[in-house]
A and B are shown apart, each in its own frame.
Chain A
Amino acid sequence: DADVTQTPRNRITKTGKRIMLECSQTKGHDRMYWYRQDPGLGLRLIYYSFDVKDINKGEISDGYSVSRQAQAKFSLSLESAIPNQTALYFCATSGPDSGYTFGSGTRLTVV
């Protein structure tokens, strides 16, 4: 099993719909992150969480919300999807002396 699992892998949704992207990790790390990747822009941080009771906005949090249901689970929601939220979304986790471990990504298309 992958260390970081994201579901779904691909999703097409309509403008205005609510959608949730889910992430779970088996690394036992407290820290989890959501990034979005756009061509030519690299990865930008949406939200991050250092433990179950901690949620922080990243660089581009507008239009997104998150929920940290457990140490291993961190979900990202788009309350009302819009076309410029079409992107590749990555969840990641990190430990105190390690780099980040990324999930396989969710490719989201908003039409």
Chain B
Amino acid sequence: AQSVSQHNHHVILSEAASLELGCNYSYGGTVNLFWYVQYPGQHLQLLLKYFSGDPLVKGIKGFEAEFIKSKFSFNLRKPSVQWSDTAEYFCAVNAVGYSTLTFGKGTMLLVSP
């Protein structure tokens, strides 16, 4: 079965700091990978996804993620965070051949102005 591990439960940054949120998955086969964001009181929105091709994926709002197959990782990055990036971030994996999405437990990001 697939599983997802997010390294940090809570991250606190100042505006303009760089962000990297770790995500590792366990599954030996081909995977699709996702990052979702949940702003306070809202539903999940897709930030970016990786299906195949270039392992560096660019998403909305200046976010990007890099798929490193050898490390089973899909870390999320942003060079300079803003206060409006305060939200909870979820990494998710869908193993090709399994049709459901498995989520990590989430990382709560708080950006102080």
Q: Are B105 and A41 in contact (CB under 8 A)?
A: yes
A33 and B100 contacting across the interface, CB-CB below 8 Å: yes
Instruction: Bits for A29-48, please: 1 = Cβ < 8 Å to B, else 0.
Output: 00101010000111111001
List, in ascending order, chain A residues with CB within 8 A of B100's CB: 33, 45, 48, 58
From B13-21, B43-51, B62-70, B73-81, the one touching the partner chain is B43-51
Known: A40-B9, A42-B104. A105 touches B43 (CB 8 A): yes
Interface magnitude class on chain A: 20 to 34
Bound-state CA distance A75–B103 (Å) is 22
What residues on A are CB-neighbors of B90 within 8 Å? 42-43
B44 pairs with A42, CB closer than 8 A: no
How far in angstroms is the closest Cβ of chain A from B48?
A: 9
Within the complex, the shortest CB–CB distance from A51 to chain B, in Å, comes to: 12
The residue of chain B having its C-beta at the shortest distance from the C-beta of A33 within the complex is B100
Which A residues, 81 to 107, have Cβ-Cβ distances below 8 Å to chain B? Answer: 90, 92, 94, 97, 99-105
Q: Judging by beta carbons under 8 Å apart, are B43 and A90 in contact?
A: yes
Task: Please give, as numbers and ranges, the residues of chain A lying within 8 Å of B34 by CB-CB distance.
Answer: 99-100
Q: How far is the CB of B32 from chain A (nearest CB, A)?
A: 8
**Residues of B at under 8 Å CB distance from A?**
9, 34, 36, 42-46, 49, 51, 90, 99-106
Q: Can you identify 16 A-B contacts, CB atoms within 8 angstroms? A: A33-B100, A33-B101, A40-B9, A40-B105, A40-B106, A41-B105, A42-B103, A42-B104, A43-B103, A45-B100, A90-B43, A100-B46, A100-B101, A102-B43, A102-B45, A104-B42
Q: Which A positions have Cβ atoms within 8 angstroms of B?
A: 31, 33, 35, 40-45, 48, 50, 58, 90, 92, 94, 97, 99-105
